[in-house]
Chain A
Amino acid sequence: MSIMSDPSVPEKILEVKDLKKFFYAHKGLIGNHRQEIKAVDGINFSVFRGETLGIVGESGCGKSTMGRAILQLQKPTEGSVTFEGIELTRLKNHKLRKLRKDIQMIFQDPFGSLNPRMTVGAMLKETVQTHHVVKSNETKEYVENMLEQVGLKKSFYSRYPHEFSGGQRQRISIARALAVKPKMIVCDEAVSALDVSVQAQILNLLQRLKKQYGLTYLFISHDLSVVKHISDRVAVMYLGQIVELADKKEMFNNPLHPYMKALLSAIPLVNQESRERIILKGEVPSPLNIPKGCRFHTRCPFAKAICSEKVPELEEKKEGHWAACHFA
């Protein structure tokens, strides 16, 4: 039960503070030449109940690692993750397991995230039973209903994952996440492996379920158009940090950070008359060797001297619109 005093102030369901996740690479045969890979390097944001927060960024920006660190699937190196007031990073294993009922995850790969040796029914049943969602004699009926909820047939209950197409498998994943009545779902590239017509089906389904069950989504994707479609607010990640965070409309109409501007101009669009295109130089630097100052300055078309010296903080430039750039 939430202790909400003022209903006009949106309630934070998830709060991430200074989250860091480093990996270590060992180099050299002798000695301990440890190299730090800063996959996630100090992330702050909150998710409000009932909203969809989109996280967008290119491969290697740390968005997936961040998702897993939030869910404690990979222990964060530093920082705190609070879900409904409970600090997850210090939670004991058994308590964390119980809490997983409330915060579920949907993965990118519809071929890898389902156990090939288990029937759809068995898979859904075990999570439902683990979290005691319904009485055990009602489990089968409940699971079958869940399958229908996501647009699958009841008869799929006793079939194996390989019998389904990518879109159907993603529906199974969604049903599994939904079956334990979660409050929040983290979607990690949930539609990226699908063809565009199937992707549209799944996006619509996610939207419908959100309304129906009052869910909160953290939607991680590399695809700007998908993120724009589904999110209420959007955060942009670059090299392990958030560089811009704003309301969706504001973000797409009035991007402040040069990286977001470049991303927006780089997406090939259907039927777009010629537009100004910012082609970024070079590639994303390695997280082993993060540039000094602003991490984006090596590729930024507007970089000035200060950018390679001083780290720009993520500041509120306008109400609700945060950006980490000296010139935004």
Chain B
Amino acid sequence: MEQPQLKAGPITFSKPSKKVVSRRSSKILKHKLALMGGIFVAVLILLAVFAPLIAPYSPIRQSYAEALKPPSSAHWFGTDTLGRDLFSRIIFGAQVSLKAGLISVGLALLIGVPLGMISGYFRGLWDDLIIMRVTDAMLAFPSLILALTLAAVLGPSLNHAMIAIGLVFTPNFIRLVRGEVLAQREREYVTAAKASGLKNVHIMIRHIFPNILGPIIVQATLNVAAAIIAEASLSYLGLGTQLPTPSWGAMLAEGQGYLQQAPWISIFPGLFIFVAVISINVFGDGIRDWLDPKIK
């Protein structure tokens, strides 16, 4: 558009005061939520790190006499079919689940973001033909089956499961980042940066990246949740965490058959997955807002 006039219409005119006020109030609320999320994530990490010190029992000690006991003062979260203490297993399970969630998404970010940025920034044949076709093909595949195949090829272990999940999530990030970069590179501040003689790499890292960080964080936090579940599925099929090491996902799966008699076996790990995911999400939103100078 060549014609000028960024005229402030009546709406923009009326808004400033209102916007500032309502933004401030919702900001405080969001701040609190993000803070709570952050605290909870920190608590989970501490639990995972100091699991041996905190857990009242060994997570793998079996006792048939204690099997399928409901929550009590001795076993806060009850016991499972093998009489293992669920509270201890959840604390130890945090190690596996958080690791699986964070590392696999970290891997996806590490590969996906640079590829997406290069692909979106430079465009061209190899971007359209190679990167996009490959990611499209990968996205067209049901992700769990792909992860299963990869994990099976690599051999069953938690590390391999994390790599498989990471690779399967990578196309999401390539797609997202590429799209965001495509939108940003048409913005005038990028042209202005080019016109002032900055290097492409510099423009990508210092100018474009901060402007696409928001959606990346949101996608990443969502994927952490998905990764925790995916690890659970792989473990359930015997391709992830090996028994008897506890993971939340595997525990959730184990309880499936006993939902009638002993619902606590599934409820507590489910609850922890749920709360961990929500915490990571609001914490991610908080970081995104904190990074935005307009909301700060």
| Inter-subunit contact B195/A104 (CB<8 Å) | yes
Specify the chain A residue showing the minimal Cβ separation from B207: A115
Chain B residues with CB below 8 A from A73, complex form:
191, 194-195
Say if the beta carbon of A90 comes within 8 Å of chain B.
no
18 CB contacts below 8 A, A to B, read: A100-B195, A107-B188, A107-B192, A108-B188, A109-B6, A112-B187, A112-B189, A113-B192, A116-B189, A116-B294, A117-B210, A117-B211, A130-B199, A130-B202, A131-B197, A160-B293, A166-B6, A189-B2
- Give Cα A120 to B140, complex, Å: 44
Partner-binding segment picked from A137-145, A172-180, A228-236? A172-180
| Inter-subunit contact A116/B196 (CB<8 Å) | no
Considering only residues 114-130 of chain A, those with a C-beta below 8 Å from chain B are 114-119, 126-127, 130
Report the minimal beta-carbon distance from A1 to chain B, rounded to whole angstroms: 21
| Inter-subunit contact B293/A162 (CB<8 Å) | yes
Q: With A59-B2, A113-B188, A193-B4 in contact, do A118 and B207 touch (Cβ < 8 Å)?
A: yes
Say if the beta carbon of A157 comes within 8 Å of chain B.
no
Specify the chain A residue showing the minimal Cβ separation from B194: A73
| Inter-subunit contact B4/A222 (CB<8 Å) | yes
| Inter-subunit contact A105/B195 (CB<8 Å) | yes
Q: With A117-B211, A118-B206, A126-B202 in contact, do A60 and B197 touch (Cβ < 8 Å)?
A: no
The SS class assigned to the A binding surface is loop
Considering only residues 68-106 of chain A, those with a C-beta below 8 Å from chain B are 68, 71, 73, 97-101, 104-105
Chain B residues with CB below 8 A from A48, complex form:
none
| Inter-subunit contact A100/B293 (CB<8 Å) | no
Report the minimal beta-carbon distance from A227 to chain B, rounded to whole angstroms: 14
Encode A153-173 as 1/0 by CB contact (under 8 A) with B: 000000010100010000001
Report how many A-B pairs have Cβ atoms within 8 Å: 95
| Inter-subunit contact B3/A180 (CB<8 Å) | no
| Inter-subunit contact B197/A111 (CB<8 Å) | no
Specify the chain B residue showing the minimal Cβ separation from A162: B294
Chain A residues with CB below 8 A from B2, complex form:
59-60, 63-64, 189, 222
- Give Cα A73 to B203, complex, Å: 14
- 14 further interface pairs, Cβ-Cβ under 8 Å (given A115-B193, A189-B4, A192-B4): A63-B2, A98-B197, A100-B196, A101-B197, A105-B192, A105-B195, A116-B294, A118-B206, A118-B210, A126-B198, A127-B196, A160-B293, A173-B192, A193-B6
Chain A residues with CB below 8 A from B292, complex form:
117
Q: Of B1, B188, B198, which one neighbours A130 at CB under 8 angstroms?
A: B198
